[in-house]
Structure 1
Amino acid sequence: MSDHAAKLGVMPKVVVAERYGGPEVLALHDVPLPKVANGQVVVDVHAAGTNPIDYKLYSGQMGNDPAALPMPVGMEAAGVIAEAPPYAEGYTGPLKVGDEVIVTGIRGAYAERVVADAEQIGHKPATLTAEEASGLLLAGGTAWHLLTRTDVKAGDIVLVHGASGGVGQMAVQLATARGARVIGTASAARHDQLRHYGAEPVEYGPGLADRVRALLAPGEQVTVALDLVGTDEALDSSVELVADRDRIATIAGFGRAPELGIAALSGADGGQEIRDSSRPELIKLAAAGQVRVIVDKVFGLAEAADAHRYLQTGHARGKVVLVP
């Protein structure tokens, strides 16, 4: 056991929401480690990835049950196994003490130490740091869901709205890995970043559909559109450019999706199964260098509120990560 692990004992520090509201409700508490059940693994956290779902949960917009307070925050982390039962099996193989791993789909990942079911754990690719790995699977799984639902394949021309965000960067890389051509919307300041991922950047704003058409040769058409921002512009240009509405999907425009006849994707209705099944594949792609995670800023656990304020600006150029 490492010195760090030994010092933690059974009262690791955990970021919790003390009430419902904005980032100001976050605080760092000493929380007893849950009793470890059969098949569970204890992981010393080295980095925790932040995601918009984290602040949506404590904001109250997804329910405000007082019984859920104080609410542990965070759903994915990377670290090292501190305790594991014999024959523990993660989705990438056997788990043992000392293994570098990724933990996904838990509550309370913003912590010094977590307890998770073995099936929520996979081995960290050696190609990624802990900070990078902590941002791989939730965004990657969402992007995988989008590409699976719209059947992205070699030869497709894919328009990604919000391509410079966390899910957008993953969608660009995964579509490119499948052999598709990708056009991504972003502000002009992000265009070099998108080119680095293999996308053709285009600036959003009035005239977007015409700017996309200007990138196409005569006879070419956009075959898939992925909306990650939910704006009217993204939705309207998608249905204008893509003939088959079965190949348009959104993770943000839920209000208008039914009227437009496009897919609105979440973890419900089988979506979570698709996202979960993508985890070993995403790890393989990361290990092979086909998927990268860009970390924009790193904050300490005690700075979780500042990290969320920054995340909510929408200006992050990559993952925002917390470290113990």
Structure 2
Amino acid sequence: MSNAALYDQTGAADALYIGEVPDVAPGPGKVTVRVRAAGLNPYDAKVRAGVIPSKAPFPRRIGGDVAGTVDAVGEGSVYADGTAIAVGDEVLGRASGAIAERVTASARDLARRPSALPVEVAGSLYVAGLTAVAIVDSVPVGPGDTVLVGGASGGVGLIAGQLAMSAGARVIGTASPRNHALLRSLGMEAVAYGDGLAELVAAIGTPTAVYDCHGRDALDAGFALGLSPERMVAIAAGDVPGIQSPGADARTAANLAHLAERVAVGEIIAPVTATFPLDQVAAAFTALDSAHTPGKIVILT
């Protein structure tokens, strides 16, 4: 047995508690990971709150991002490059119910953790990082492009903006004023979201692409500035006609491994705003639920 974050009914963050769950031997293509860090994501909070429906029985586990040490290996478990996963390997990736002491993960969702990559950053990288990769893959940009990134101070927006800049694009990022210094420190031009966004953006430059990583303010600004839907992508506005969501093809362990290496050497900055111990998971989600939190929040076990 080991401990995991659980909840018995949908609701606020205080519905979460720590309880014992059975440890299960990994089957073929699976591994057991001794969790060292597990990132929080808005999706987790929306499922917990009942905003996103789930058919999973109660008590439910929570979390998706994970970094830790391989404890046990099922038959045929290999990395994306075909090499075998071994007990003792340091890994990062995705696992359902990752906010726990131990978790079972699919080998296809794991990559080696570079030694220079802090474990708390590794534990925050899968969902936000690969969503950002998928966004840029959906609407590629390069020199001569100006990209408007909505929600640029969040976990996805920060990485998407930096990926666009590394491809040679200019980036205008929306954020609350208290997060503008962070965006500027990474090389983005910062504007406040809300009323008048299109005018603020137009005063800086005309976007050739929009990555909306928050709601739909950036999409509305893109439309107002004459941008075609084919040059816009959004993670939370699937009901807007003609706007695509980031595809699944880019969400691979190979891309995760490549991104992890770039973060490890400082080419991409993936800030962790706060860390909490496992027994403070409710407080961690309360912090996530508060508005305008930059970067990522991570549970350390």
**TM-score range normalised by the length of the shorter chain:** over 0.9
Partner of 1:225: 210
Partner of 1:5: none
Distance 2:132 2:54 in 1: 28
1:240 pairs with 2:224: yes
Distance 2:226 2:137 in 1: 17
Is the alpha carbon distance of 1:229 and 1:215 closer, same or farther for their aligned partners in structure 2, counting shifts above 3 Å? same
The structural deviation recorded for 1:165 is 0.7
- Does structure 2 conserve the Cα–Cα contact (< 8 Å) formed by 1:44 and 1:81? yes
Partner of 2:248: 272
SS in 2 for 1:139: helix
Which one of 278, 283, 286 corresponds to residue 263 of structure 2?
Answer: 286
1:201 pairs with 2:190: yes
The structural deviation recorded for 1:127 is 2.7
Distance 1:27 1:37 in 2: 28
SS in 2 for 1:278: helix
- Does structure 2 conserve the Cα–Cα contact (< 8 Å) formed by 1:133 and 1:293? no
Q: Which has the larger radius of gyration?
A: 1
Partner of 1:145: 134
Distance 2:285 2:126 in 1: 19
Partner of 2:237: 253
Which one of 14, 19, 29 corresponds to residue 39 of structure 1?
Answer: 29
Partner of 1:156: 145
Moved more, 131-140 or 51-60: 51-60
Which one of 21, 26, 30 corresponds to residue 20 of structure 2?
Answer: 30
Letter in 1 for 2:100: A
Partner of 2:118: 129
Partner of 1:306: 283
Structure 2: segments with no counterpart, 5+ residues: none
Distance 1:314 1:278 in 2: 30
- Does structure 2 conserve the Cα–Cα contact (< 8 Å) formed by 1:223 and 1:242? no
Deviations 1:1-21 (A, max 9, x none): xxxxxxxxxx11011121122
- Does structure 2 conserve the Cα–Cα contact (< 8 Å) formed by 1:16 and 1:28? yes
Distance 2:121 2:229 in 1: 34
Deviations 1:251-282 (A, max 9, x none): 11233x11xx322x16xxxx223223632331
Stretches (4+) displaced over 3 A = 85-88
The structural deviation recorded for 1:183 is 0.6
Which one of 3, 23, 26 corresponds to residue 13 of structure 1?
Answer: 3
SS in 1 for 2:190: strand
Distance 1:303 1:121 in 2: 26
Moved more, 77-86 or 37-46: 77-86
1:215 pairs with 2:191: no
Matching of residues 38-187 of structure 1 within 5 Å: 38-65=28-55, 68-85=57-74, 88-91=77-80, 93-104=83-94, 106-187=95-176
The structural deviation recorded for 1:229 is 2.0
TM-score of the aligned structures, taking structure 2 as reference length: 0.93
1:316 pairs with 2:293: yes
Structure 1: segments with no counterpart, 5+ residues: 1-10
SS in 2 for 1:116: strand
Distance 2:32 2:60 in 1: 20
The structural deviation recorded for 1:133 is 0.7
SS in 2 for 1:30: strand
Distance 1:243 1:123 in 2: 40
Distance 2:274 2:264 in 1: 23
Distance 1:241 1:151 in 2: 19
The two structures, once aligned, show a CA RMSD in angstroms of: 1.9
Deviations 1:118-144 (A, max 9, x none): 222111122321101111121011111
Distance 1:182 1:109 in 2: 33
Distance 2:4 2:71 in 1: 17
